[in-house]
Structure 1
Amino acid sequence: MGMMRKESGNIACCIVLFLCFVLLAVDSTAQKNGQEMSMGKVEEGLSIFDHNQDGKRTWELHGVSAEFVEDGFVEIQELNVTIYPENPEDGNILISSPSAQINQATKVVRTEEPVSISSDEMDITGQGLEGNIGDKVVHLKQNVRVILKGDNANLFFSNSNPQPTEPENDDTTDNQKEQSS
């Protein structure tokens, strides 16, 4: 159970960090293109990458487009994200949704679209997502399905079907055992 909590915590942490970077990257893309944080399209064929201090890629985001919408939200269409963990043995985390909106000021992320989060250890799908990057909380709204894989595959249920065990029968009754003593 501890392994799944650790893996779930790692996934949640990676998602939150990724969303923080997206907010910064979309804002810097808009500034490079001379656009303000109001309504308007940022870029067609959006691709954003981030690297750590050693030059190793930490995540990448691809989308068909990103557009500023009302109330400070940026909407990214056909969102596909790959998060690369520090330890490559942990495997990549893939996040996808037909679209998602992120608000840089309030740190709110939301979508009503299907969401898929996948790693070597689990696949999570659901309909709609809402969260707050500042609070480090992401909530899948409905139809959530989790499939455990790898080391977590048998976390709740064993692969084998244990049969109920019956007491050993040594063909002597308790009364016979007492008499022989």
Structure 2
Amino acid sequence: MSIVVRSPAHQWALVGVFSAFQVITTIVPYSISVGVEGTISVGLVSAPLIGVLLGPVLGAIAVVIGSVLGIMINSSAGIMWYFTPIATASGAFVAGAIRTGRSTLVAPVFLAGLIAFLLGPVGYLCLSYVWLHCITLLPVAALAIPSVGGRVKSYLEQVSDRVRLTSAVALLSFVAVMT
């Protein structure tokens, strides 16, 4: 029997720890130029990692808390105002959903985010930003097929097969960051 007994507070303690991690990564700027110029925060990239580690729901909660607090500290990290915590949370949710075998949830979340962006206040100004998201529709559609999503989940669990693990992590990362 294990000495460590997990209480319900254990999950919420992890949410707190990873929220603090998200705050730190949100205030660190990262520059990328794909379609439009500007800076994003490292928090957009670290959110999928949190989703993989905590799962879709707790990961999304931790990322929302951390992103909101990070934007309060460094307002330039919130390049899209209140959409930034939603974008990071959806990335964490998608990464957690793929890891836990619920990849059929990826397509609705991805499409809702893409439509919300296009209908939002800057969507029509940044249409050149959408091209990579259109390419992402292919793996998102593939993940909607239960057998493909199940295969990706099983590849994530095969630590001994580095090729399959690497390809699954690359797919998960790409889709989660683009969400």
User: TM-score, normalized by length of structure 2?
Assistant: 0.29
User: TM-score, normalized by length of structure 1?
Assistant: 0.29
Choose between structure 1 and 2 for higher RCO, CA contacts under 8 A separated by at least 6 residues: 2
Higher helix share: 2
Higher strand share: 1
